[in-house]
Amino acid sequence: MQAHLHGIFEARDLLYDDEYAALRMSPLFAFVTERGVVSNHWPVGASFLQAPGWLLGRLAGLTLVGDGVSERAATWTVPLLGLRCWALLVLAWVSVRVHRWLAARVPRARATLATAALVLGTPLLYYAAESPLRPHLWGAAVVAVLTMRWFDAIERAAEDPERARQSLRRPLELATYVGLATAVRPQLAILVVLVAHERWLASAEASLVDRVKLLATHGLASAAAFVVWPLLVLRMQLWMYGGLGDYSGEVSHQLRAFLLSTHHGALVWCPVLVLGLLGLAIGAAQRRHGALILIGLFAAQIWLDAGTREIEPYTVLGTRTWAAGTAFGPRKLLDAIPLLLPGVVWLSRWLDSQLPSEQRRWRRRLAAATVLALVPTLLLLTAAFVDPKVCSSVLDPERLSIALSLGFDPSNWQLAWDQRALALRVTLSVATIVGLPLAVLVVAQLRHGPGSRPRAASQARRWPWLLVLAAGIAANLWLVWLEARSAALLEADPQRMDRAAAQMNPWHEATVSEIPRHHALLRARLGPEAVPD
């Protein structure tokens, strides 16, 4: 991701050999493809969402050079601090948006508890504060907005299908957000089902002929809006591999391990997910619109994330384990977790339908279950803060119990604080140049954005997706220019990629050859079924 950010916005090319050399990039992903360019498998959509923090951080770095900050730190370290600042602001923005949306539909105390569960009971806080380069926070933010806007749209479509049917804006808006989510995490492309579902409800009372016409015309328009952001990923794949890449190879699914293993198992590291799934199940039992679709989409994400395929030299997107290497719990599932938000609403409405005595009983049970479900995740968050190796070690039950206790040792906190201490001028520079303007932007959006009333129709609420669409078009134009410039650079230096291949590819092959040893460790600590032979 750093190579993307530096290459796309500063070096202004798609060659990455200079970036990988400067970063001392892991040889697992540093190789020259058969097309003769350097591979970079990270989805490029996240880089455009990360750009404000990174670029302002780069500006902060420039102001610090010569004042005890090296050129290397100004190029790579200070921009990363700026990105972390931006990621935390985005997390705050998502939290406020989700809380407002829930508070308009459920009692405020339940909205507060559910928002806390989203932030503290999942890896969301970890990937904002500790690993903002990963695409998952950014994907989760987009899916959160998509889910809330979809839920609003289907409620209106169910209440007034004739009026909803006349609105082309709603499917275009939803399709734009799905497209952006796909550019961040391609496996989220299946969320286009939500766009189709909203149009299906909106056309429920139309005649068969009118319904077919509406679905066809609105479907084509929505497809055009959807494809804008994923085109970035396609262009990158064509540039690096000459096609969609080599996704061949046998895939095995470690579903039980993905959900229940002490080594990053989703329900072990984030047990609060059970309550979200319970809400979706209650919605399905009550025949709520879209509940079965959300269950199916979430199950599909789990199925995809539990899959493993061996990495071979020059294979695209092979995965060693279902844990995806360095991870905080269900890392790859984080983007889809906001799909559980409607479950909170359905669970709350079910609770309100009970007799008063049953309401009190179930309210206490669910509140206690939610608070208790946050405890393991919070302990693991503190463990990952004081010892980052927690997120890369193979954790059997004994090692997991040790990790859960790390936060209780004051000396661990002191060591972590000493390791993370920054010079005051660096902190002030990042806060002033990155934090202040972006915080003003976030506050302004929240102030003029959607309020607590679910039917508020302010312009600030209705049209942000147009900015997202325009940004996608601009990003595609920028990428076209980058490709042309990169091709010109290669033409001026025909041996450049040969030199890169001689340096990178043998190193990459040697690293890939170590994967069987890693699998042997997984089987030794977690059992023979942890990974396939």
CA distances from 218 to 173, 195, 228, 380, 522 (A): 12, 10, 16, 46, 49
Q: What are the residue ranges spanned by the domains of the chain?
A: 135-245, 253-421
14 and 239 Cβ atoms separated by less than 8 Å: yes
For 381-429, the pLDDT digits (tens) are 999 999 999 998 999 999 999 999 999 999 999 999 888 888 889 999 9
Q: Is the pLDDT of residue 346 over 90?
A: yes
For 59-89, the pLDDT digits (tens) are 999 999 987 889 999 999 999 999 999 999 9
Residue 253's φ and ψ, nearest 5 degrees, are -115, 120
Q: Per the structure block, which two tokens stand in for 198?
A: 């909203």
Q: How far apart are CA 378 and CA 70, in angstroms?
A: 36
For 449-473, the pLDDT digits (tens) are 654 444 444 445 567 899 999 999 9
Mean of the per-residue pLDDT values of the chain: 91
Q: Which residues, at least 6 apart from 77, have a Cβ–Cβ distance to it below 8 Å?
A: 61
> Which residues, listed in sequence order, are joined to residue 252 by a DSSP beta bridge?
308
Count CB atoms within 10 A of the CB of residue 118: 26
Reported as type and span, the H/E element at residue 22 is: helix 17-23
Lookup result for tokens 């209650």: 282
Crossing angle for the helix pair 356-386 and 410-420, nearest 10 degrees? 60
For 99-132, the pLDDT digits (tens) are 999 999 999 999 999 999 999 999 999 999 999 9
pLDDT of the residue at 449: 64
CA distances from 247 to 244, 302, 312, 326, 380 (A): 8, 19, 11, 22, 34
pLDDT of the residue at 319: 76
142 and 191 Cβ atoms separated by less than 8 Å: no
Of all residues in the chain, the percent with pLDDT exceeding 90 is 75
451: helix, coil or strand?
Answer: coil
pTM above 0.85? Answer: yes
B/e letters for 284-323, b = 16+ CB within 10 Å, e = fewer, are beeebbbbebbbebbeebbebbbbbbbbeebebebbbbbb
Of all residues in the chain, the percent with pLDDT exceeding 70 is 96
178 alpha carbon, distance to own chain's centre: 13
pLDDT of the residue at 457: 41
9 and 488 Cβ atoms separated by less than 8 Å: no
